[in-house]
Structure 1
Amino acid sequence: MQLLQAAIELYGTRPYEQVSIDDIAAAADVSRALFYRYFSSPSEIYVAALRFAADGLIARFAAPAEGPLLDQLRSLIGEFIAFAESHAAAFVALLRGGSVVATAETGAVVDDVRRHAVAEILARAGVKEPSPLALLTLNCWTAVVEGTTLTWLQERNLPRQDLENWLVDQLLAMVSATAAYDAGTAKVIGTVARP
């Protein structure tokens, strides 16, 4: 755990190539030998650190489903942004893992987070068999959330509550646009829009 937390902090502030085993061991205040007791290579701890960060974020999606769907969506977004804010280094490392050091393993970790987010929204909306357009819409929206949150963490030029509301409104706008082409989505958006 100590090695993983140190690795996450380092990967959140520096590219993978600029973080050495010695850096991780020093940040965790352990010996190089202890590092090798748990991990065989830098790439192995990198994937393990991403998985650790991803599991923490996925756990946030499992908040109880209470109240109207829009309130649940705001709660999910709030949990996502709270995680990103309180674990900024882990969040940055997690998202960088899918693009900067693209491997099958790092890509799978990032994709797993995205799949959980989409699945949680569909489950809360009561959609068991989403159309291809509905899935495309939700996948595009998760990219918007990720990119926006990364930018917000760097700039902090908008109150967090405004960011959360804007992201929910973005989802509603995207789903509304999809509803014009997809009857199943139109039915769901009609339910969501009701007070």
Structure 2
Amino acid sequence: MEGVKGTDTKRRRLGPAERRAQLIDLGMRMLADRPLDQISVEDIADEAGVSRGLLFHYFSSKHEFHVELVRHISRDMLECTAPDETLEPFDMLRGTIVAYADYVTERRDTYVSMLRGTASGDPEMREVFEQTRTAMVERTLRYLPDIGIDAGPAVRLAVRGWVAFVEDITIAWLREPAIDRDEFIELAVGALPAVTYAAVALGETARAGSLVPKDEPTRLA
């Protein structure tokens, strides 16, 4: 590819989409050994063999470049943790959590710096994070009917809480792994049916209560 150090391929002019993809790819490689806020425009331009001015032709600012990196990571994480629909529902859930645990472990510093570093306070970054969480909620809700759970309002809220729970314990686990990987996976897997069944029970209680006439006091058994 043009401009990348150490390549022997014939030089050719890259189109805008190819050049942007090249620069994003270089940024992703750098994230392997440094947090997001340490990815500099100068380092990217130098590695790509282009001027800083040319880099700003494709990204208006360092901030825009960082936001695009976060979008790429979010899409990549969703693709890597996509459920295997050939499995039974609970095996599908476990497989997704296993893939997620592997993904974040391999990118520990990147993941922690994104969700708890300076990026977490940026409105555009938060929007990307929220879009990712929403995608995780929606795909989880899609498979709940397979285990007999209807995705009503209480269940939807419970699933959002589960996604937030998994995200939070992941950060804590990556910082200080007080339990091993298998225990972490089982904790994350077991939490989903716990909160969704609680939401279902809440709905059933509410429906049962609505059957009691308003002018008739509820009798204790």
State if a TM-score over 0.5 links the two structures. Answer: yes
Structure 2 gap segments, 5+ residues each: 1-20, 205-221
Q: Does 1:78 align with 2:98?
A: yes
Give the structure with the higher percent helix: 1
Q: Distance in 1 between matches of 2:86 and 2:104?
A: 23
Structure 1 gap segments, 5+ residues each: 184-195
1:173 alignment partner in structure 2: 194
The answer to whether the Cα contact below 8 Å between 2:35 and 2:110 also exists between their aligned partners in 1 is: no
The answer to whether the Cα contact below 8 Å between 2:83 and 2:93 also exists between their aligned partners in 1 is: no
| Deviation at residue 5 of structure 1 after TM alignment | 4.7
Q: TM-score, normalised by structure 2?
A: 0.69
- Residues 1:28 and 1:155: Cα distance change in structure 2 (over 3 Å): farther
What is the CA deviation profile of residues 108-133 of structure 1, one whole-angstrom value per residue up to 9, with x for unaligned ones?
21112111211111112238972221
| Deviation at residue 26 of structure 1 after TM alignment | 5.0
1:107 alignment partner in structure 2: 126
| Deviation at residue 61 of structure 1 after TM alignment | 3.5
Count of aligned residue pairs for this structure pair: 182
| Deviation at residue 154 of structure 1 after TM alignment | 1.8
Q: Distance in 1 between matches of 2:166 and 2:33?
A: 18
Q: Distance in 1 between matches of 2:105 and 2:158?
A: 25
Q: Distance in 1 between matches of 2:180 and 2:32?
A: 27
What is the CA deviation profile of residues 78-104 of structure 1, one whole-angstrom value per residue up to 9, with x for unaligned ones?
11111111223442344247963321x
**Counterpart code for 1:49:** L
**Counterpart code for 1:110:** F
| Deviation at residue 135 of structure 1 after TM alignment | 1.2
Q: Does 1:61 align with 2:110?
A: no
Q: Does 1:136 align with 2:172?
A: no
Q: Does 1:155 align with 2:176?
A: yes
Within a 5 Å distance, the mapping from 1:25-44 to structure 2 comes to: 25=45, 31-44=51-64
Q: Distance in 1 between matches of 2:39 and 2:95?
A: 35
**Counterpart code for 1:37:** H
The 3-state SS of whatever aligns with 2:178 is: coil
Q: Distance in 1 between matches of 2:140 and 2:171?
A: 21
Q: How big is the alpha-carbon RMSD for the aligned residues of Structure 1 and Structure 2?
A: 3.0
The 3-state SS of whatever aligns with 1:180 is: helix
| Deviation at residue 19 of structure 1 after TM alignment | 5.3
**Counterpart code for 2:101:** I
Give aligned-pair identity as a percent: 28
Q: TM-score, normalised by structure 1?
A: 0.77
The 3-state SS of whatever aligns with 1:67 is: coil
**Counterpart code for 1:73:** L
**Counterpart code for 1:45:** F
The 3-state SS of whatever aligns with 1:71 is: helix
